[in-house]
Structure 1
Amino acid sequence: MSDSEIITILILFHLSGYRTLKAFYTQMICKEWRQHFPVVLSYNRFVEREQMVSLKLYFFLNNCCLGDCTGISIIDSTLIRVCHDKRSRRHKTFRGFATSGKGTMGWFFGFKLHIIINDRGEIVQWQLTPANTDDRTPLKNKKFTEKIFGKLVANKGYISRSLFEELFVDDIHLITRIRKNMKNSLMHLRDKILLRKRSLIETV
């Protein structure tokens, strides 16, 4: 199986609606679409090869699949669970890359995906980090924000005075709701409307 076929399968999986890669691979690739993939690997071997093409997949996504910043962007992160935290010591596939992190459903072992989209719902930038990474950390990376300008809408997890000032210098206006224990501050009506659009990123 070629690298391009593996990348194609990974992209198809994310468009398929299947909840697990194993179910998609064994049911669709090995059976339904068998004629399109002359050489089919065992699932365990496919997972091993998956790691080998990750760099090529990264460059493909960054060069071919990203939208342009429109001046209105939304950022959020999502958890990618590799396995339950209690099974992390037995996990081999992403050993040395994945870490333990805590989400709304408790502790898990895996990664955190940080995504920035524009107001059309197109992905403008993304970054995969270990699960224990603070949501604000990627925004401190100039490479991550180099294409972003204008308004950047985020949830309360991105609140940071120093981060706000750092981004403002780079022509990025970070907009977040305030916490209940914070001093109330005036906000433009346009910014309040933009905060209501933050849910757009949940559809990506």
Structure 2
Amino acid sequence: NYRAKIFRGYANIGYKATKKIYFYGFKVHVIVSDDGYILDYVVTKASVHDARETVELIENTHPSNYYLLGDEGYLGKELHQQLKQMGYELWTPYRKNMTGAKKHNDHQLMS
């Protein structure tokens, strides 16, 4: 595969657990303002976990909104605690099989 040869050493294989699929390439981790402006971003190999880049992006950006929204890739007590110590509150939807998911993921609460 030509694309695989070009990015050898830079890209790699990642796994999307919610869809149970593997993919080859990169991930883009982005901090976006309430208005939709990109504040900071980083491109990593596909295998890098979403939460790993979050703290560094927040430290570099210092977003003015202290409430952050992330997807299921940002679930995890350790990340939530780290961000709380920095003064940020991270909200992530629960996975469907988690206790309290239906109430927590209510679309009216998220809007």
TM bin, normalised by shorter chain, reads 0.7 to 0.9
Choose from 145, 156, 164 the match for 2:80: 164
The whole-number CA distance in structure 2 between the counterparts of 1:174 and 1:182 is 17
1:118·1:124 contact (CA, 8 Å) conserved in 2?
A: yes
Q: How many residues are paired up?
A: 102
Computing the radius of gyration from Cα coordinates, the structure with the larger value is 1
Q: Answer yes or no: is 1:136 the counterpart of 2:55.
A: no
Report the residue type matching 1:130 in the other structure. K
Q: Answer yes or no: is 1:94 the counterpart of 2:10.
A: no
Report the residue type matching 1:135 in the other structure. D
Secondary structure, counterpart of 2:6 in structure 1: coil
Question: Which runs of structure 2 are paired with 1:7-26 in the superposition (5 Å)?
Answer: none
Greater helix content: 1
Q: Tell me the alpha carbon deviations over residues 29-54 of structure 1, each in whole angstroms, 9 at most, x when there is no partner.
A: xxxxxxxxxxxxxxxxxxxxxxxxxx
The whole-number CA distance in structure 1 between the counterparts of 2:77 and 2:20 is 28
The whole-number CA distance in structure 1 between the counterparts of 2:67 and 2:12 is 32
Greater strand content: 2
1:148·1:172 contact (CA, 8 Å) conserved in 2?
A: no
Determine what percentage of the aligned residue pairs are the same residue.
Answer: 30
Question: Which runs of structure 2 are paired with 1:177-188 in the superposition (5 Å)?
Answer: 177-184=93-100
Report the residue type matching 1:99 in the other structure. N
Report the residue type matching 2:63 in the other structure. I
The whole-number CA distance in structure 2 between the counterparts of 1:178 and 1:105 is 17
Structure 2 equivalent of residue 114 of structure 1: 29
In structure 2, the gaps of 5 or more residues are none
Structure 2 equivalent of residue 33 of structure 1: none
Question: How many angstroms does 1:117 deviate by?
Answer: 0.5
Kindly tell me: are residues 99 and 122 of structure 1, through their superposed partners in 2, closer, same or farther at Cα, counting changes over 3 Å? same
Question: How many angstroms does 1:177 deviate by?
Answer: 1.7
Report the residue type matching 1:101 in the other structure. G
- Normalising by structure 2, we get a TM-score of 0.75
Kindly tell me: are residues 183 and 91 of structure 1, through their superposed partners in 2, closer, same or farther at Cα, counting changes over 3 Å? closer
In structure 1, the gaps of 5 or more residues are 1-86, 197-204
The whole-number CA distance in structure 2 between the counterparts of 1:108 and 1:182 is 26
